[in-house]
Structure 1
Amino acid sequence: MTNLQRIGVVGAGVIGSGVAHLFAQSGHDVVLIDTGEERLAAARATIGRNARLYGMLQKDVPDAGEVLGRIASHADVEALAGTSFVIENITEDWAMKRDVHARIDAVLPPDVPVAANTSAIPITRIASVHRRPERVLGIHFMNPPPVMPMVEIIRAARTDPAVLACAEALVVQAGKQSITVNDSPGFVTNRVMMLMVNEAMFLVHEGVAGAQDVDRLFKTCFGHKMGPLETADLIGLDTVLRSLENIHSEFNDGKYRPCPLLRHKVYAGQVGRKSGEGFYRYGVA
């Protein structure tokens, strides 16, 4: 586990493409996996666009061509063979996670660490799919991964300390800080943040205040860079809903019951920035 040059990234959605971008930007070779060429092409276009933007805003970052040149995209998990660390980033759906991790486990040698990037599903549950659950841990990247300074590393019930040390070293190589926490639904960040976001939605749902006023209060009074509803739109309201459903299911605690307005917006396809409309309207590139 000493050579961490070749990183496998499974899932090329918003977070997965950001994770691939982060490691390519920090000098790693990346194998990016998703289900089809169209999704992979869209991810590469997003990475290239973001790399050009970050290049204008930050010093000492490689240009878009260099970043994309370090990313090999494939539609088959078999391409993970030869990687030294794998990070899974697919949607917050247990059945899909279970299937993908079973396929990852079948491809990789037993000494390659596997990180699940999830916001709510317990890592110990994901690790149970693997023949060697000791090699599985969680890494929770915040959006957007190339910009956010810190990640949450999650220790599952049987995670090998050497695997944790490997993940911590990899995060440092990527230029980020980390905090390691024990496994619990939602971990630290989402267990707290999802409560705040959901309660903000209830305020709008009940007519206590409009979305703009809720967000403005949080930004002005508490110094938040984004209000809770702007944050929800950035994450994706569909992802917020799945996260709340997972935490609610695991704890069986009514305080995590998703707001009806959240469900309504997801059913209407108004899932935030990526769809062009959530609690706010956005231009879609």
Structure 2
Amino acid sequence: MTAVTLGPEGTYSHRAARAIGDEIDFRQSVTAIVDAVASGEYDRGVIPVENSIEGSVTESLDAVAEYDVAVVREIVTPIRHALLAQHDGFEVVASHSQALAQCRSYLEDEHPEASLEAVASTAQGVERAREDPAVAGIGHPANAGEGLQVLAEDIQDQSSNSTRFFALAPESERSEGGGKSSLVVYPNANYPGLLLELLVPFADRDINLTRVESRPSGARLGDYVFHIDVAAGMYEQRTKDAVADLEEIAENGWVRWLGSYDTEHVVE
């Protein structure tokens, strides 16, 4: 099976994608990955959804709300950041914006003079460091070699740093089996108590919400789409009933069930 994820080779997304794909291809944006899966070009796509330090990856949330895809698995992997450079005389630290944020305290304390440069992926920052002796990258320590050395390991601000990824498939592969489910709700309304109304169907059925987040709909200022993850599968009648209630509340908008799935922990 061929999977597509954020490239180039060596990103944390690449490490997560190896758990589901025999062959891995790359794209430079999350939206391009989701589009490639929705169109049937790829069997699977792997995108980062949430980091334990920096929170949700907003491009991922917006993309799964826009395209018809299925979430078929959740992959959780620890993030071990290392500072990689040709030598310790670098002037710039280049990495993905999330990685730079996850190492903010370390960089401020140990390299306050270095300029920070956000690039498309951690692997791209490592390649910049490999090409330019004035640049250091942040990435997995296994990306060292070929002229790069590990100047410091485990530089993330929290030792528990981890990222959850969604494994995506075409919409036709949505499954009701699994211990978690993800939904996107667009009520197309705004009134006091709306969010409470959206949550009550789950509380009434003793369904635990593992994540609730709002994103701008793009239609108008103050108009929101809600992303909801619950610790229950759609095969359960209580989940079906809760979603039916949601659809009544959002009768002027829509409810999209992304799928039910299990979680896999990948440690490398």
TM-score (norm 1): 0.26
Instruction: Give the structure, 1 or 2, with the largest relative contact order (CA under 8 Å, sep 6 or more).
Output: 2
TM-score (norm 2): 0.27
The structure with the largest strand share of the pair is 2
The structure with the largest helix share of the pair is 1
